[in-house]
Each structure stands twice: as structure tokens, then as C-alpha cells.
Structure 1
Amino acid sequence: MTDERAHSALFAEPGARWRTVAYGPILCLIILAIEMATSSSVHWFALVFCGSLIAMFVVLQVIAGQRHVSVELTGTTLRDGTETLPLTSIDAVLPERDDDAWDDEDWEAARALGELSGVPRRRTGIGLRLADGSLVQAWAKDHRTLRTELTAAIGQAPEPDQPSDDSAPDTDDEHSENGVDR
């Protein structure tokens, strides 16, 4: 692998975007324009105060989002939040959760990468088996793209979605959860 490819981002999610800081002040400017257009009393101090206060709170949220909920995959590392994992320590990317299965996958109860207590909201976990045999969860909003890029980065053949051998169970005799034949 070339040095340039090793350090360039194969996948990245920023966690939060700086443009969101402008939403509160823009809303206050719209209210200011409406007040000026309707010839009512203009609340200069209140609008400037509220716009700047909203912007300051959102700056804190963006900083926290970029630190704790961002994801970056390079040719050598995977970073989820504040935790960086070398790709050499990843043994396998585990198959996606089967939505029709009754039982949870083992990796769904595993520790999530980063310093948060679990997979962040609006993110989906991806099961990883590490070289020492332990299981962890990577996570991302666009989990399918991260799964594809991560599988390619560690050089693993993708898991087939359907069993391809003849020993697969015959699905003609199976019933769905509510008892209706498939």
C-alpha cells in the first residue's frame, strides 16, 4: 500500500457541521426583517442576544459532535469518535444483522468503539472481530459504505448474503413470525 493511500481518508463522517452555527442567527435576521417590514417595534437587543446565545450553544455542540461522533477510515486506521483502531488489529468484519432473526448477533452486545457508552443515536453498529478474538462495534450513519470500505481495507472477502451450498435449509416448510406460509 502506498504511503499516500495509507493516510488519505477512505471514508469520513464529520459528526457535526459548522454551518449549523449559522441557523440561529439567520432565523433572528429573518425575524428582524419581518419586524422592520411590518413597521412594528424592532427588538434589536433581544434578537442580537438570542442569535449570539444560540450560536454559542451550537458551537459547543459542533465541537462535541466532531470530537465524539466523527468517523474516519484511512488505509491504516479506523477512528470512531475518540478511539483509533489500527486495521492490523481487525481480524474480520462480521455480517450484517439479520432483521428476520429472533436472536441478536453476539457482536450487538459488544463494546462500541469510542468513549461513549454505546452506539450513538442515528448511527448503526458494525460488528468487528479483533485479532485477539474479542468483539467490538464500529458505527456510522452510512454504515453500508463504511462496511464496504472497511472490508476492502482489511483485505477480507465479502460475506455472501445467501448460503450458496446445497446444505442450506429448505425454506418451503418455514413459516413466518405470524404463522403465514412464505
Structure 2
Amino acid sequence: MRDDTVLFTEPGARWRVVAYGPALCAIILILEVATSSPVHWFALIFCGALIAGFVSLQVVAGRRHVSVELADDTLREGTETLPLSAIDAVLPERDEESWDDEDWESARALGELSGVPRRRTGIGLRLRDGGLVQAWARDHRGLRAALTAALAQRPAQTEDRQGENGADR
């Protein structure tokens, strides 16, 4: 089985953020010890563990539902995977000076979320069946460039493979 080359990736969330809450509690603990004030051992350890637990749930959800990966043959947005062969074109960016919305801006966002996730920007895609969808990423320009390059490298596909007389082969 051939491994696909990853052309673009965004993890959705990073594990390092789990350490921020416990690190803050450790700083407070050090300050309490240094200033000879009463040390709240139990409260600080409990709060650090509680914060780390809740943030790790958010990281797991972010990595599952808001991650993006573009490979040679597929585009994965959250839990939805779209084969590149289903994409006809990457549509141009929204004109910021235009008063009108682009058609793709009201199209369904890829993934199982109800729309483009917060702090992400949509990218219009026209599918081979004529439909419109939105891909999305934080680095939308990077995804757009990688997706455009990946689509340009794929072999040209003809929809109708007919002979000279019009008969199917």
C-alpha cells in the first residue's frame, strides 16, 4: 500500500496548551512559598489537574474536528475526507471590496461542523458534480496554494471517453 505524501497540515489544537494551567498553578505555588504566605497545596494541585483535564478534552476535540490534512489524493477537513478527484476547481478568494457575497460563501463547509470553524477562513471549491463546498483552514492562503498545486499535478481527466464516431469505448 502506498503512503500519501502530506502536502499541508494543521493539527487543530496543540498538546502544549494542556501545560499552561498547571504551570500557572506552579508559579502561584512558588510565589506563596517565596513570600512566606500560607501555601495552598491541595487547592493549587487540584486546580492544576482540573484545568489540565478540561483543556485536554478540548485538545482532543480540536484535533478530531478542526484538523486539516491535504495529501496527494485526499483532503481531510475534520472527520470528512474528500478525494481530490472529486474537486473540479479552487475558486478565487472573496473580493473584499465587493458588496456581493460569492456563491461559495453560502455553500456547505466540509467536515461535520455546521459551518466554517472560528478563526478559520473558507476556501470555495467547485466539485466535479457541479456542487460547491467550502474547505477551511487557519492558514487559508497556504492551503489554497497547496490545493491548487495538487490539483494542477493530477492527470487530466476527460468526462466522456468517446471514439471518433461518438460510440463509447
- Fold match (TM-score > 0.5): yes
1:34 pairs with 2:31: yes
Can you give the 5+ residue segments of structure 2 that lack an aligned partner in the other structure? 154-169
- Match of residue 145 from structure 2: 148
Aligned counterparts of 2:73 and 2:28: Cα–Cα separation in 1: 49
- Match of residue 162 from structure 2: none
- Match of residue 139 from structure 1: 136
Q: Which stretches of structure 1, 4 residues or more, deviate above 6 A after TM superposition?
A: none
Select 1:93's aligned residue among 70, 90, 94.
90
Aligned counterparts of 1:9 and 1:37: Cα–Cα separation in 2: 49
What amino acid does structure 1 have at the position aligned with 2:70? L
What amino acid does structure 2 have at the position aligned with 1:62? V
TM-score normalised according to structure 1 size: 0.82
Aligned counterparts of 2:144 and 2:57: Cα–Cα separation in 1: 30
- Match of residue 164 from structure 1: none
Select 2:120's aligned residue among 120, 123, 129.
123
Can you give the 5+ residue segments of structure 1 that lack an aligned partner in the other structure? 157-182
Aligned counterparts of 1:8 and 1:56: Cα–Cα separation in 2: 34
Aligned length: 152
Shift of the alpha carbon at 1:124?
Answer: 0.2
Select 1:74's aligned residue among 52, 68, 71.
71
Shift of the alpha carbon at 1:15?
Answer: 0.3
Task: Give the aligned CA root-mean-square deviation in angstroms.
Answer: 0.9
What amino acid does structure 2 have at the position aligned with 1:9? V
TM-score normalised according to structure 2 size: 0.88
